[in-house]
Amino acid sequence: MLRPLALSALLMTSPVYAQSIIVGLGSDNFDDGPEAASFLLESRYDVFSNLGPFELRSGAALEVDEDGDAWVGFGVFANAPLTENLDFVTSFAPGLYERGDGEDLGGTVEFRTQVGLSYDMGKSSIGFVVEHKSNAGLYDRNPGVNSVYLTYGIDF
C-alpha cells in the first residue's frame, strides 16, 4: 500500500517541483530501543505564508529505517531565524506508516512532529532534528516513537 505513496513522495522531491531537498541519516527509536539506522528524504516548496517570526512551507517526507519500517507524510515546515545563519526549525506532518520488523505503532496513520536547528551555508544547510511520531489515540495502541537525524539540505 505504501509503495505508490513512496513513489509519489519521491516524485514530489524532484527538483522540478521542490525548492529544496533535504536528506538525513539518523536513528529511529534512539531513546527506547530497539534502535535502527534510518534514512530521511524531504522536499520543501516555496514559502506560502508567515506566522510571527516563522516562514511556513509545505513539504513531503519519506523515512525508511534499517528494520524495514517506512513512513511517508506531507505537512507544514516552519523556520525562524535565531541568528544570521542559524534557524530554529519545526514541522508537523500527518503520514502513513508501514511496519517492517520494527515497532508496532498501533496503526497506519501516524503524525510526525519535529523540532531542530538548521545552519544556513548559502545554497545548502546542515541541521539536527528530533522527532516524535504518534497516532494521537486513533488506535487502541499508541506507543509513539522518537527519532533523531543529522540533515543536509540543498536549495535550488
Query: 21: closest CA among 65, 77, 60, 70?
Result: 60
Q: Does 28 bind Ca ion (CB under 5 A)?
A: yes
Q: How far is CA 5 from the centre of its chain?
A: 15
Number of residues binding to Ca ion, judged by CB under 5 A: 6
Q: Minimum distance from CB of 117 to Ca ion (Å)?
A: 24
Q: Minimum distance from CB of 59 to Ca ion (Å)?
A: 22
Amino acid at 9: A
36 or 148: CB nearest Ca ion: 36
Would you say 37 and 67 are in contact if contact means Cβ atoms under 8 Å apart? no
List 42, 63, 65, 120, residue binding Ca ion (CB under 5 A): 65
List 36, 40, 64, 78, residue binding Ca ion (CB under 5 A): 36
List 59, 73, 102, 127, residue binding Ca ion (CB under 5 A): 102
Sign of CA dihedral 127, 67, 102, 138: positive
- Taking CB under 5 A as the binding criterion, the range among 2-10, 24-32, 87-95, 130-138 that sits at the site for Ca ion is 24-32
B/e letters for 9-45, b = 16+ CB within 10 Å, e = fewer, are beebbeeeebebbbebebbbbbeeeebbebbbbbbbe
Instruction: Name the site residues for Ca ion (rule: CB under 5 A).
Output: 28, 36, 65, 67, 69, 102
